[in-house]
Structure 1
Amino acid sequence: MTLKVITPEQVRNKTVLLKVDYNVPLKKIGEKIVVAEDTRIQITVPTIQMLLKNNCKVIIVSHAGRPKGKVDENLRLKPMAEHLEHLLGQAVISCKALTGEMAKQAVSRLQKREVLILENTRFDPRESKNDNSLAQELASFADIFVNESFSTTHRKHASVAGVAQLLPAFAGPAMEQEYHVLQKLLQNPKHPFVSIVGGAKISGKIEAIRNLTKISDVVLVGGGVANNFIKAQGIDICNSYLEDCAPTEKSTNGANFVEVALDLMNTNKIEKMLLNGYIPLPKIIYPSDVIAATAMNNPKSKRVVSLTSETEEGLSKDLMFLDIGPKTQRLYRDIILQAHTVFWNGPMGVFEQTGFAEGTHAVASAVAKTSAVTTIGGGDTINAVQHFSLQGRFDNVSASGGAALEFLTGKKLPGLEPLLA
């Protein structure tokens, strides 16, 4: 199947409903809420400019945060509209409603070559239910639907999947690029192919890790994700974060995540990976040492802990594993630098805290330095790259976290399917 990508001829003089993902970090400057990091907004600017050049009326829909179907004043889209106005160099109209009379009037007043942003889609409880009445209201505003939000294509929501069933639906150029990058990772990566998976939660990543073990030469794990693999080896993780469910409360995979991690390691025991010549390495590599502390804000308690199957004598049960250790950093760096393809999703530790940023910095620097084709994905990964001032050092930057990972599992995405022909 091929992706249906919008062309200037298809949109000329049309009213376009443009789905974007402006779920960006915000900050307060005095009493004003402003955009703190704008990668997801910048990605959409060329598409909006193309639409305006072709005499379109552009109606933007996006979500921000998780307001659970209620209005949250801190999650309105006005700061994003003001930031987009700055990037475009022209006025952007902001409407405080998504549907209803106020939205209808804003749409009816919209002129060619003007941009309107409707209110946060997740203020409406119908959005997450993929309610057809909301999809119909949104569809009634436009002639064509263009999706530039690959990061939400795994959501069966009204503004993602619902509207795409009611209007002629196309992918935008940014989505096309992301789709082809991920397709290439799945179908034709250059080897050695190194995948790096971190972040706090394993629930949305376990199936992607399973699939990545099939297409990668090695999968390096860090962050809270790694704790499941460490515990699966019988190593005490003390008071570290662990996303898991009790054996009596089985996950959708039919087992708790520690059991799934153990199964993945048992079925992917040894592979050959380029590391100063081809030598045997496990397919999934977890940290051999960590930087731990009893509290993130207590640097005096910080220490390096070597991980073995035997509990280290005198190891405090209050310790939390908050970053990968120096030995692991060196190993991960060496592997990354000898790769021909790298995919990275998720930080190695609590990089926002100075004392626990070394692991993520080491990985980020290695991915930036390697001669491999590099793809990084997910909001936390992008934030880490910004944190270490490494922007512009990667071949492909995907704003998609969960959607990219679900795509790499081979699953059909409800927001992507209507865009395929």
Structure 2
Amino acid sequence: MKIGDSLYSQLNSNYVRKLMRRAENNEVSLHLPNDFITGNCYDNCTPLKLCLVDDGIPEGNMGLDIAPKSMYHFTHIISGAKTILWHGPVGFIEQEAFGDGTVCIMQAIITATENGATSLVVGEETISFCRKWGTLNKFSHVSSGRAGVYLLLGKSLPAVRALSAKSRTY
């Protein structure tokens, strides 16, 4: 897909390809946006344009938020989930014009939580966003530190390793 002037990292691109292969090998559905709100700079006054995956993002534009079809799709997926881990916004939330997708995701997770799903909000940026909207108390769990992410990834924490090593010496 053409990405115009959107931020790009070869390292992240390789990681995404690896993640997509892993999902396919494990028969896990991976849901990606299919439409985007774009702009030509990080400015609230920028002209906004809706772009579809099939058309790509034109040169001079950056993908700055998900658009209505993606919002609808993700809301539907979230509504059927029993456990939801939310780590990071889906748009350039520093500019209000590009926060609608993240608001939509937040509201979908809140609704799913109210309907019995377990929700975990992780990361400072996501927590700050929810704090701004006054919704932190609407989620099952909130973790601002990286420790929560490390544990979810199956990584050990240095302090826990040190304590575990000490306990074996007594």
CA–CA distance in 1 between the matches of 2:58 and 2:77? 32
SS at match of 2:158: coil
SS at match of 2:137: coil
Q: 2:103 aligns with which of 321, 338, 361?
A: 361
Can you list the C-alpha shifts for 1:206-262, whole angstroms capped at 9, x where unaligned? Answer: xxxxxxxxxxxxxxxxxxxxxxxxxxxxx1111111233xxxxxxxxxxx3312311
Identity of aligned residues (%): 26
8 Å CA contact 1:293, 1:299 repeated in 2: no
Which of the two has higher C-alpha Rg? 1
Match of 2:153 in 1: 409
Q: 1:373 aligns with which of 118, 128, 134?
A: 118
Relative to the length of structure 1, the TM-score reads 0.36
8 Å CA contact 1:368, 1:394 repeated in 2: yes
Matches within 5 A, 1:119-138: none
* Larger fraction in helix: 2
Matches within 5 A, 1:225-374: 235-244=1-10, 256-269=11-24, 283-308=29-54, 311-312=55-56, 316-370=58-112, 371=115, 372-374=117-119
8 Å CA contact 2:23, 2:29 repeated in 1: yes
8 Å CA contact 1:347, 1:381 repeated in 2: yes
Can you list the C-alpha shifts for 1:176-202, whole angstroms capped at 9, x where unaligned? Answer: xxxxxxxxxxxxxxxxxxxxxxxxxxx
CA–CA distance in 1 between the matches of 2:58 and 2:76? 31
Matches within 5 A, 1:67-78: none
Q: Which runs of 5+ in 1 are unaligned?
A: 1-234, 245-255, 273-281
Can you list the C-alpha shifts for 1:260-288, whole angstroms capped at 9, x where unaligned? Answer: 3113212322877xxxxxxxxx6222211
CA–CA distance in 2 between the matches of 1:349 and 1:330? 15
8 Å CA contact 2:2, 2:58 repeated in 1: no
CA–CA distance in 2 between the matches of 1:414 and 1:294? 43
Matches within 5 A, 1:2-401: 235-244=1-10, 256-269=11-24, 283-308=29-54, 311-312=55-56, 316-370=58-112, 371=115, 372-400=117-145
CA–CA distance in 2 between the matches of 1:243 and 1:384? 25
Q: In structure 2, give the amino acid aligned to 1:397.
A: V
Deviation above 4 Å: which 4+ runs of structure 1?
none
8 Å CA contact 2:5, 2:60 repeated in 1: yes
Q: Which runs of 5+ in 2 are unaligned?
A: none
